[in-house]
Homo-oligomer: A and B are copies of this chain.
Amino acid sequence: MRVLARDIAEAARGGLGGEIEIAGWVHRIRDMGGVNFVILRDRSGLAQLVLDEKPDLALESVVRVRGIPALNEKAPGGAEIRVNSLEVLSRAAADLPFQVNGDVSKTGLEAILDNRTLSLRNPKIRSIFKVQATIIEAFSAYLRSEDFTEIKTSKLVNSATEGGAGLFEVEYFDKKLCLAQSPQAYKQTMVAAGLERVFEVAPAYRAEKHDTPRHLNEYVSLDVEMGFIESELDLIELEKGLLAYIFKQVNEKNGEDLAAWNAAVPDAEAVAASPVVSYEEALQIANGEVSHNEGKNKAARLFDVNPEAERLICEWSAREKGSELVFINEFPRRYRPFYTCPKGASSTMSFDALFRGLEITTGGRRQENYDALAEALPKFGLKVENMQNFLAIFKYGCPPHGGFAIGCERLTQKILGLANVKEASLFPRDRKRIEP
């Protein structure tokens, strides 16, 4: 019966001098003159093995050992195993192209991604994906507790409906389809179909040629849609509760992973204190920050809420409101898609959420009125005849509704303070990178 690294101390305390079995990867080998230490890595952590002879093994080989557990406060976890027998399950080649047991803080992103099958073995890099797993689990659990139903929708969509720009084309038998940018229309269908509250965790695709630290061409979209809302403010309330729960779960389950990145998550009080500012106010705040940072005489210079403004607004919020999370609502009509619900003549019931300087969410109340939608389409360069399936959602009764999406990798990035969002994708795709 195999024991995990994290349980050796308990085995040493509770054992009756009997042998235990442990298995994992050879993380490090130390020859201390007569005594040999092997640090073994398994899914639970590190374990120290004590051997009489130096094992003839390359690092990263997989072994199974049997031995006697013993307390040793100098060993990781406060215990070690005095090895009686060692079996090699898988021998690693000696030419390791990536140092798994090293400090990766100075390693370049390209080296990490080129050697993905090895870099993911590094405990600090692996911890990114333990946090990500908690984010997905907590996202789903919170929404289920609020009576949301999980859905899985098609990622192969008709290009005419989606507009065409920024889409990857798929050869689908004798037709051309596209990879969905978002499950937007399908989420709306499911609200109108009477589930009322739905969520989806699925890949989304953007064929944009950007190569920035905040963009991925394939990402995991955490999508939410909810019926019977009044405005985007209901969605902001929902997202506050959702993020507070995700942060709490990450804090409880990923203490070691946060520590590895010297990171912390906001507490519930800070999330509750997150300000909601209109787009116009946000622009003023950002320009105020420019003056704040560069002196009163410098003229304000930001004309829209661009990435630079997003950073400044989060700085303002952290300083003035005690929250690293900010919601910007009432985006101008020109910045939002045709299906966004208007608010007055030129504004919309839409919002972004910014966290630690980065937009992690876009959302809003949708237009559910069939006639208003049909009227809006041509103004946005779309043809009513191409949108019949979309319009059908609203033709036969659709409640007021709205939703949002959280970029899973962006949230992971910002929780841990990663420099580049690609670090938060197991196998990221960008314009050049298609492997592994």
Contact assessment for B120 and A189 in the assembled complex, using a CB-CB cutoff below 8 Å: yes
Contact indicator per residue, chain A 101-124, by CB within 8 Å of chain B (1) or not (0): 000000000000000111011010
Query: With the chains together, A238 CA to B186 CA distance in Å?
Result: 34
The answer to whether A91 and B397 touch (CB under 8 A), given A189-B117, A434-B172, is yes
* A173 interface residue per 8 A CB criterion: yes
* A240 interface residue per 8 A CB criterion: no
Contact assessment for A396 and B228 in the assembled complex, using a CB-CB cutoff below 8 Å: no
* A275 interface residue per 8 A CB criterion: no
Query: With the chains together, A172 CA to B203 CA distance in Å?
Result: 16
Interface centre among A132, A168, A369 (most CB of B within 10 A): A168
For A150, give its contact among B133, B169, B190, B436 (CB under 8 Å): B133
Query: With the chains together, A431 CA to B168 CA distance in Å?
Result: 19
For A195, give its contact among B60, B129, B193 (CB under 8 Å): B129
Query: With the chains together, A91 CA to B398 CA distance in Å?
Result: 8
Query: With the chains together, A43 CA to B123 CA distance in Å?
Result: 44
Chain B neighbourhood of A158, CB < 8 A: 434-435
Query: With the chains together, A42 CA to B431 CA distance in Å?
Result: 45
Interface centre among A169, A400, A427 (most CB of B within 10 A): A427
* A177 interface residue per 8 A CB criterion: yes
Chain B neighbourhood of A96, CB < 8 A: 396
Chain B neighbourhood of A156, CB < 8 A: 218, 429, 434
Residues in A1-36 with C-beta less than 8 Å from chain B: 2, 23-26
* A184 interface residue per 8 A CB criterion: no
Query: With the chains together, A389 CA to B228 CA distance in Å?
Result: 49
Chain B neighbourhood of A436, CB < 8 A: 185, 189, 389, 392
Chain B neighbourhood of A319, CB < 8 A: none
Interface centre among A155, A392, A425, A436 (most CB of B within 10 A): A436
The answer to whether A168 and B168 touch (CB under 8 A), given A189-B116, A202-B202, A427-B154, is no
Contact assessment for A426 and B220 in the assembled complex, using a CB-CB cutoff below 8 Å: no
Contact assessment for B120 and A26 in the assembled complex, using a CB-CB cutoff below 8 Å: no
Minimum CB–CB distance for A316 against chain B, Å: 33
Contact assessment for A121 and B193 in the assembled complex, using a CB-CB cutoff below 8 Å: yes
Query: With the chains together, A195 CA to B120 CA distance in Å?
Result: 9
Residues in A169-202 with C-beta less than 8 Å from chain B: 169-173, 175, 177, 179, 185-186, 189-190, 192-197, 201-202
Chain B neighbourhood of A177, CB < 8 A: 434
Chain B neighbourhood of A389, CB < 8 A: 117, 435-436
Contact assessment for A169 and B170 in the assembled complex, using a CB-CB cutoff below 8 Å: yes
Chain B neighbourhood of A427, CB < 8 A: 153-154, 186
Task: Give 10 CB contacts A-B under 8 Å.
Answer: A23-B228, A43-B147, A43-B196, A117-B192, A126-B193, A133-B149, A154-B218, A155-B218, A169-B170, A173-B209
Show the binding face of A for B, using Cβ within 8 Å. Answer: 2, 23-26, 41-43, 58, 60-62, 89-93, 96, 116-118, 120-121, 123, 126, 129-130, 132-133, 136-137, 140, 144, 147, 149-156, 158, 168-173, 175, 177, 179, 185-186, 189-190, 192-197, 201-203, 207, 209, 218, 220, 227-228, 368-370, 389, 392-400, 408, 425-429, 431, 434-436
Known pairs A91-B397, A189-B436, A202-B203. 16 more at Cβ < 8 A? A25-B397, A43-B197, A58-B396, A60-B397, A90-B394, A92-B395, A92-B397, A117-B192, A118-B392, A132-B152, A140-B140, A154-B427, A154-B428, A169-B170, A170-B171, A190-B426
Closest 10 CB pairs of A and B: A120-B193, A92-B397, A43-B196, A60-B397, A154-B427, A389-B436, A92-B396, A169-B171, A133-B150, A60-B396
